[in-house]
Structures are given as structure tokens and as C-alpha cells.
Amino acid sequence: MKPLLTDKVAIINGGATGMGRATAYLFSGEGCNCVIADVNEEEGRKTAAEATGRGSEAIFVKCDITDPKQIKDCVNETVKKFGTVHILVGSAGGSVPRDASTRPRNADGTPRIGVEHTDEKHFDMMTNLNYKGHVFFCKEVVPYFKKQKYGKIVLISSMGVYHPPGPSADYHGAKAAIIGLVYNLAYELGPSNINVNGILPGPVKSPFWDPVLSHIPPEKRSAAMDELGKQCPIGRVGQPEDIANVCLFLCSEMSSYITGQMLSVAGGIPMDRYQPGVLMGGGRRG
């Protein structure tokens, strides 16, 4: 059977670890040359080497998605190396630790959360990482897509948009903006044969959860993730490969007539708000 991405070139931002890493491994085995764009140089180079060993060539390009110049340089380096780019997978994102010295705390020392405690500098960092950077990555690849009348964009949002596990106006707001970006770009770029879709992951074992579970002893974090999975209708926590498989579908010709869609990959968590008993958002929080 012919590989699904033969002779294609993909940029995977946030590709050093987690869902991005799994996507690079899968794509390389399907005939796709991959560019791992990430700030984590050590893990990024490991991912590129392992992906190359699975099939097509993969390279690492150090890129901070919050810096439009680095994004432009990354795309230019990709084109210089491989001649063009066909696919963009936007998996970079996560939570940026807030400066502990400026964060308000309760009497017991725990940090105060909620929109009334929003810090502008931290808000801007979160927005740049989880939304703005993806806009500028799209800006840089789209001219190549239009020229060749072909392109695939897959952006990673979060099921937390619909079922927030806790107050986080900055993170969940940015991830909601990704949904709007997908809808807008699908409408804008469809006439140029460019497919734009998004993924809404549920709880997936990845480095994203490290700061979220930092209050739990390290030896108990894996069990905590497993407990989250048991609350999903499908009965397990997700793996990075679960997201990578959907990325492959959306970036191959199997989905050539699909654009402007947000696919829930969340073990059955519904795309409705505040469902009683659901993992994320079991009831309205006051």
C-alpha cells in the first residue's frame, strides 16, 4: 500500500514532545519529510533523529512560536531545505508558569485563580503561545500553499474550551480563538484547495499536564491521569498517538473534502457545555 504522505513536507510546531512528536513519527513513516519546530532543542533533535529512522528525513529547527521573526525564519529554512511546504500542524501551546512573586495568594499560600486575578503580562504570553503564533505560522506558509494550489493545516485546540477543568480565561480563551481561526481560514482558503481543520483533544498523556499536576507527588501523577481517563465514556486516558492518527487523516487525501471542521478526540466527552458527570465541567462553577 502506498504511503499516505509520499513526497510531502510538513512543519510540526511543538513537535519535540507529546502529540507533536507522535505526529512526526507517524508522518515520517508515511513518506513525509518533517520539520520539528520547537524551543526544546534537546528533545527536538531526538525527535528528528528518531523520525528520520522511521522513514523520510526530519530536521529540527529551533523556533519560538511567540516570535514572528523566528516563525518566518523557520518557514524559510524549511523551503530552503525541502523546496516547499505542504502541511502545517500547529501543536505548540500549553501553560506558561506565572511569576510567583507577583501572583496573589490565599491565606494558606495557595495561588488565587479566576479572571479577577488576571495578570496582563502573563495573559499576553499565554495568548502569544496558544493563538497569535499560530496565526503567524499560517501567514508564512499560506503563500506557498496558494502557489502550488495545495495545502493542509491542522491546528490543535482543547476540549477545555467546552469543559474547563478550572478557571483559565487566558488559556481557554486562546484555544477558543483557534476554533474561530479554523473556521475563518477554511472559508478564506478553500478556493485555493487548502484544507483547514482543527482537533479538540481531551485528557491526553503529554508534557502539557506536568504543570497542571505539579501539586500531586510525582509517583502519583500517572495514576491521576488514569483516573481522568476512567471518567471518559471510552474509559481510558488518551495517548499522543490518538491525536497523531487524526492528524494523519486530516493531512492525507482521505479527507480531501473536509475543511472547516473541529474534530473531538476526547474519548467520548461531548461537545456540549456543563454536562453533569462529565470529566471537564461537571457543573457550573461559582
Chain Cα centroid distance, residue 237: 17
> In sequence order, what DSSP letters do the residues of 142-168 get, joined into one string?
HHHHHHHT-EEEEEE--GGGTS-SS--
* Whole-Å CA distances, 107 to 97, 98, 110, 119: 21, 19, 7, 20
Is residue 183 annotated as a catalytic residue, yes or no?
no
Place of cell 528533545: 43
d(CA 141, CA 154): 13
Catalytic residue among 131, 144, 162, 171: 171
Grid cell digits, residue 259: 475543511
Full strand arrangement of the beta sheet holding 58-62: 58-62, 32-38, 8-13, 87-90, 151-156, 194-201, 262-265
Answer whether 246's CB lies under 8 Å from 202's CB.
Answer: no
How many helices, marked H, and strands, marked E, lie in the chain?
A: 9, 7
d(CA 219, CA 267): 25
Active site residues: 171
